[in-house]
Amino acid sequence: MISSMSAEPSSLIYMVAGESASASITSNIFNSLLKYNKDLDLEGELAEKWEISKDQKTITFTLKPNLKWADGKPLTSADVLFTWQAVINPQTASPYASDYALVKQAETPDERTFRVTYDQAYAPALDSWAGLQVLPKHLLEGQDLHSTTFAREPVGSSYYRLGDWKHGENITLTRNPNSVLGPANIEKLVTRIIPDNSAQFLELMADNIDSMGLDPIKYSRIIPARPELKKRLNLYKELGNSYTYLGFNLKHKPFDDVRVRKAINYAIDKQEIIDGVYLGLGINIASPYKPGTRWSNPDLMPYPYNPAKAKALLKEAGFVDTDGDGILERDSKPFTFEIITNNGNKEREKTAIFIQRRLKEIGIDVSIRSIEWASFISRFIKTGDFDVVILGWGLGLDPDQFNIWHSSQQKPGQFNFIGYNNPSVDRLLEQGRTELDPDKRMKIYHKFAKVLLEDSPVVYLSAGYGLTAIHKRIQGIINPIPPAGVGYDSQKWYIPEPLRRNEISTN
Amino acid sequence: MNFDLFKKTLANPLALAGFIIILCILMLALFAPVFSPYDPNEIDVKSILLAPSSMHWMGTDGLGRDVFSRMLYGGRVSLLVGLVAVGISTAIGIVLGALAGYYRGWVDTLIMRLVDIMLSIPSFFLILAVIAFLTPSIINIMIVIGLTSWMGVTRLVRAEFLSLNEREFVLASRTLGAEDFRLIFTHLLPNSLTPIIVSSVLGVASAVLLESGLSFLGLGVQPPQASWGNILTDGKEYIQFAWWLSLFPGLSILVTVLGYNLLGEGLRDALDPRSGSNK
């Protein structure tokens, strides 16, 4: 099976690379202690079972028996301990270190037992252990994870092992006979590195790749219009893993005024954005959680499009058009600001144009600027030098969003760059982290989402669908798509003999 | 500028073609509000990426906006940037070139070394670097292109001045006691005007191209305002499917640049004593 991605991984040690390009390869090579099943509940992967102590501070994992690395060496709790030590090591400088640094003590009473103790109960703990890919101690001990050759020739325990890596061209994974979860069906996974999206699509049309992610225009306009593509490809649609928002710089006037933020929220027609930008392939959201999941508060509704209410709120906040030029003023200064977003993201640029038009209608003069990603982050986001931004956040599986909304997370480079500071939200986020009872935790996050919606530090714009095309020769794909996504259980996918590609066509 | 030169230029069929092309594009851009069937920024969610038809002569873009109307307004941007940028660069070029060519000595050395330094930097990268520090807008683009493309004119004016300085009428005027100012503005400059005009016309072509390039990269004209460059960017994504988004702006840029080049070269041929038409 041949797929494609736009960026080449910098390293195949995920805790070092911290990028999606790396994750898409390493998830086939390494295992974690736990994983999410198809309904997004946690189950054991390397772990056979896990126990949480009464005081909720200690978790004891028991590994499955007879685990082996791809090179035949045994996989034991010492490897897990080694991985934990590596991820919290300041020299590793892993972007994920903070979750694991909360572990006060980690120990391995025997070869199959791994025990961690926290200072206080930490609810996202299990989620964090599902995210940590266990590395082999016998190959990495004493090495610098940033410079080790292991990053280019990894040895894991999962369905595949690295076969070949042609830099700038492709990465080939071959079936790992020692896979701890049993063998995968498809013998070879080739991921071709094609930076340009249009070029990827050309390869899909030429039948040189078997799957790729699509944008709404390709999904609903181009492929249906071409019978030869329609005959060859299955299209999959699932709720995506991220949402787009309009974020205010709360340290800048007038965005510190909740009436202004609400007014802008009412003035934006979100349905129009979904129809125009996503061709209807997206949904409205009212909280930063995936609709339909436990953490999403079903009672919350997005702000409806209501320009009259927006105008009234602005008037209340002191904005009136005194000179009759169609633009509102306060203290004889016109209400004008700049929306910035990263260039190259067509959806966000188009969204900005829709917003610009709607805000003009209520008397706000908006300019748009799209900026190249690296300078966008370093020059504007990290320095806080912006008024309003259009960006996206992931819809994570664990509800903890401390990093994004807690007032302590405002230093340059941290994620609360909009400067949100709400003591009641801070309190809820802290409670949510220490509450392990799922039902109580759910109530906390429902309340958190409600406060957030009323306070409107960001305008939730939309959550687009994830759209994928996969060649019909790939069979065994779960349909309808489970909550865990179209790629769930891909080791069970198979290609019937007559439909297989010849060896030569993979290059 | 003399009328005779124009007559001679337009006798050349290619130059005439260039002149007509530019005239047409100028008219279309100037009267864009009259010709355009739609508001160029009117979004229509129901008609996204429609192929050219009698309703939309050049189809619609990814937001359902009429490409023909956007092309007309984009033409305004392209031409405005071209003309103003060249105006700025020509003004700077004339002043510096005149100073260098007239006073010579250390003034000349200083200005010419400055020209050499500027020419040693690839101009597109220089412009990219400057734009990165500024807010992208039409005005900034015009200024930056103007400030980075005066070197050719400077050299030209200097060379003209150097040679004119030795001519009898200038010497005569000088012996009669004419001041520097009078010499420069009544004798030297009027006599070097024609090559300046040729170089400006050619300069407009490259400024149009530069603006399209910058807008294509997202550093030029900002949304929702249309420019040929950013219509082309929108088209890149769907070049297979929505060919009209790439074809029309691409063609317009090509034809405009061709028009200016034809006219510029026609003017140059008409001026050149060695060219056939001058016998």
- pLDDT (tens digit per residue) in B86-120: 999 999 999 999 999 888 889 999 999 999 999 89
A368 and chain B in contact, CB less than 8 A: yes
Closest residue of chain B to A353, computed from CA coordinates: B224
Query: For residue B230, which residues of chain A lie inside 8 Å, CB to CB?
Result: none
Q: Which two tokens stand for residue B154?
A: 């400077």
Do residue B45 and residue A357 have CB atoms under 8 angstroms apart?
no
Q: What is the per-residue pLDDT across A89-116, written as a single tens digit (0 to 9) for each? A: 888 878 788 889 889 999 999 999 999 9
* Neighbouring residues of A86: CB distance < 8 A, sequence distance ≥ 6: A15, A92, A94, A135, A140, A145
Q: Hey, of A357, A379, A380, which one would you mutate to test binding to chain B, going by the most B CBs within 10 A of its CB?
A: A357
At position B183, the amino acid (one-letter code) is: L
What integer pLDDT is reported at residue A195 of this predicted model? 82
The neighbour count for residue A372, using CB atoms within 10 Å, is 15
pLDDT tens digits along A225-259: 888 888 999 999 988 888 999 999 999 989 999 99
Provide the pLDDT for residue B186.
Answer: 81
b (16+ CB within 10 A) / e for A161-184: bbeebeeeebbbbebbebbbbeeb
Model confidence at B2, pLDDT cuts 50, 70, 90, reads low
Task: Kindly determine whether residue B224 and residue A197, on different chains, have CB atoms separated by under 8 Å.
Answer: no
In angstroms, rounded to a whole number, what is the distance separating the alpha carbons of residues B246 and A315?
Answer: 45
Mean pLDDT of chain B: 86
pLDDT (tens digit, 9 = 90+) per residue, B235-245? 887 787 888 99
Q: How many domains does chain B have?
A: 1
**Which of B45, B135, B234 lies nearest to residue A276, judging by beta carbons?**
B45
Contact A354 B236 (CB under 8 A): no
What is the C-alpha separation between B132 and B218, in angstroms, rounded? Answer: 11
| Interface contact B241-A221, CB threshold 8 A | yes
Q: Which residues of B touch A225 (CB under 8 A)?
A: 241
Tally Cβ neighbours within 10 Å of residue A110: 10
Q: Is the pLDDT of residue B278 over 50?
A: no
Half-sphere exposure of A72 (CA within 13 A, CB side): 0
Cβ–Cβ gap A222/B135 under 8 Å: no
- Exposure on the CB side of residue B259, measured as CA atoms within 13 A: 18
Is A108 in contact with A78 (CB distance < 8 Å)? yes
Q: Which domain holds residue B237?
A: 3-278
What's the confidence (pLDDT) of residue A503? 55
List of domains in chain A: 14-149 (3.90.76.10), 242-464 (3.10.105.10)
- Percent of the residues in chain B that have a pLDDT greater than 70, as a whole number: 96
Is B30's pLDDT higher than 80? yes
Higher pLDDT, A109 or B278: A109
Chain A residue numbers with beta carbons less than 8 Å from the beta carbon of B129 are none
Nearest CA to CA, how far is A151 from chain B (Å)?
34
We report the CATH number of the domain holding residue B232 as 1.10.3720.10
When scoring B138, B232, B240, B245 by the number of chain A Cβ atoms within 10 A, the one with the most, hence best to mutate, is: B240
Residue A271 in contact with partner chain B when CB distance is under 8 A? no
Residues paired with residue A116 on neighbouring β-strands, in sequence order: A59, A106
ipTM over 0.85: no
Contacts of A276 in chain B (CB under 8 A): 43, 45, 48, 63-64
CB atoms closer than 10 angstroms to residue A378 = 12
Q: Which of A6, A196, A198, A273 to mutate to test the interface with B (most CBs of B within 10 A)?
A: A198
Q: Do B224 and A368 touch (CB under 8 A)?
A: yes
Query: Which parts of chain A have pLDDT scores under 70?
Result: 502-507
Q: What residues contact B23, with CB distance under 8 A and at least 6 apart?
A: none
Q: What is the pLDDT of residue B279?
A: 38
| A278 near B CB under 8 A | no
